[in-house]
Structure 1
């Protein structure tokens, strides 16, 4: 079987071959990027968060009355709301926070060790102003120091003590104990185990907390509750009523578990991965149908040629290999074009969403899958063509 003759036969039908090449290239580009995106989304959804996602409930709300949004009326409202939700059977702990955990972005700023800003500055770290039970809600493991037990007003002299997550403490102080050190947000009082803060931060596990009421909540605030597993849904159903009973002048944006919050955080990637996967499967199906039709049509047109080859001693296996070889060559050429197209699509998607760059082995695996599908699609018409009788094929000569 000559490579030159395969190319000559393939490019003798220019229009059909060109369309097949474009179809194969687009199929490969979509398939590659959908697999990449689906794989990344799955990894992100399965990454450790340091949180009991199923049994921590999040309430996002905001007072509709302006005086209730600022200190000191806000602090009184927060304390009354916490007392009410803690009284619900099944609630283990409850706390307020100026913002939720597991967010895309939010209230954040830089953190650095005093007098070492150039060396230690971390540009984007979430700033949490929380009640003292925030750490009980998250069931945080205390690694260093002592957790603050009293809420300190933000307008009091000096800054409230700071609690850092382990990853951030390691980043700032390396092997040096963090407790007692001074950072730009205050004195470090404790270090706790990591938990997922903000996706857009320098690192999802970098978090800084101060036990203090927020100054104002024009954009709303969060109440977090840890519940007993068997009471989670029951507590969820009672939350809105309990909060409205405490103060009717509030707007509750949503009540959801942190598991739902986590899913929503990656819903764009998940949705796009599903869309690309469906499109890829449809394109793959269309490519298989096109390959089948093209092979069947051209095998019929070449019956006499195949019959003569059989009469001259060509075996059925050789004829089958020749017909499959044409499709394999077309698939190989289309795949080369497809890899280039996949790189362009990958760069375009990277401008809109987070998607990993193409690596060396993904294209190889995807090309192998595409080659297998094309082989399956063209096997039957190619096998039928080998059954042409030399006598029948040469009658018209």
Structure 2
């Protein structure tokens, strides 16, 4: 076997350009498959790390109507705002009980509304509004582009100040000058103290969808939505392994404070982020198979090229085959020699394709800001697949060589 491999390399390097052109289809096919799988795996990992824990081991516990919960279970979507659903206040003992669990690192109690209309002179907007505490901005950092953020003492105060996103600024202040301007919310004037970047971590709460947002201090929220506005909870786990468990424990504690009548109308729920992320990963894997199937066409073309060159090689070495057979070489020896050469040729192309694919995936991942992941099964599978291509498309030329008659081979010119 080692002698066959040595002879194969001699034949390949004796015709370098021809061998390189023959391997080109295999190299391109394997490189495309490896790059596609690596990029898809990196994208899946990025989505998983962003969705599971919203990028920082945090999960949202939401107060929702039971109709909305049932509808989600039946694959129907009920849009129902929770801002007008009366919710009992969350007891401090419940918060401390949740915070006491070893897997819970931090908790934020905040409010949310989709219904408040914001006015500035003749311009208006329907932003997504949040009544935030200091911990909320620690769990979901914002990136200020103008002005300042809330100061520590302002979160629990009645100061009528707000932070607006770039999208809200563009709708309310087309001229761009927003800081220190007044915005009317539910008939109450609020002063803009800062503008933050449109895309923030909190967007992952809504599937990465971004819309204009306004943040108000939690202490002034009752002026806008009343004292019975439901409180949402963001729970940060100590590690990514405990995110779902921490969220479910928080929901259980919060629901234990509700009466049976209250739970018939609404209750605290937590989304199964791991299941959502796994569904997205499954979709990405199916997409990778589709693209990989398309890329495999180039492998088919490369295999045909290998068969063609091996037939040419058999023709060129007819006298060599005749001499070996005249000296006693068996049919299976000749068959194995040429089959080994085809496998070595495609395996070498597969190895070069793997290196090219990994290099391309590394460049693309760095350019688009995704993690670079080397898929070991794809690498091993790509190499094995290239060897199988060599066996399949090299068998016919090898079989032809092994069936040559010594007399006819020796007479060949």
Q: What is the TM-score with the length of structure 1 in the denominator? A: 0.51
Equivalent residue runs for 1:1-397 within 5 Å: 1-36=3-38, 52=72, 55-57=75-77, 71=117, 113=135, 121-123=139-141, 124-126=201-203, 155=224, 160-164=229-233, 191-195=268-272, 273=288, 276-350=291-365, 351-352=367-368, 357-396=373-412
Structure 2 distance, partners of 1:384, 1:370, is 22
Structure 2 distance, partners of 1:277, 1:173, is 37
TM-superposition CA deviations, 1:5-41 (whole Å, max 9, x none): 3211111122211112333222111122334566788
Q: What is the TM-score with the length of structure 2 in the denominator? A: 0.49
Root mean square deviation of aligned Cα: 5.1
Structure 2 distance, partners of 1:341, 1:369, is 16
Structure 1 distance, partners of 2:227, 2:43, is 43
TM-superposition CA deviations, 1:216-256 (whole Å, max 9, x none): xxxxxxxxxxxxxxxxxxxxxxxxxxxxxxxxxxxxxxxxx
The answer as to whether partners of 2:4 and 2:341 remain within 8 angstroms in 1 is no
Q: More helix by proportion, 1 or 2?
A: 2
Q: 1:388 to 1:23 in 2, by over 3 A?
A: same
Give unmatched runs, 5+ long, in structure 2.
53-68, 81-114, 120-125, 142-200, 207-220, 255-265
Cross-structure match for 1:229:
none
Task: Please report how far the alpha carbon of residue 394 of structure 1 lies from its aligned counterpart in structure 2 after TM superposition.
Answer: 1.5
Give unmatched runs, 5+ long, in structure 1.
61-68, 74-96, 100-106, 130-151, 181-188, 206-261
TM-superposition CA deviations, 1:318-350 (whole Å, max 9, x none): 111111111222223222211211112212342
Task: Please report how far the alpha carbon of residue 58 of structure 1 lies from its aligned counterpart in structure 2 after TM superposition.
Answer: 6.7
Structure 2 distance, partners of 1:313, 1:275, is 50
Q: 1:156 to 1:35 in 2, by over 3 A?
A: closer
SS at match of 1:342: helix
Cross-structure match for 1:255:
none
Q: 1:348 to 1:127 in 2, by over 3 A?
A: closer
Aligned length: 262
TM-superposition CA deviations, 1:242-273 (whole Å, max 9, x none): xxxxxxxxxxxxxxxxxxxx88x998x68973
The answer as to whether partners of 1:307 and 1:393 remain within 8 angstroms in 2 is yes
The answer as to whether partners of 1:112 and 1:172 remain within 8 angstroms in 2 is no
SS at match of 2:224: coil
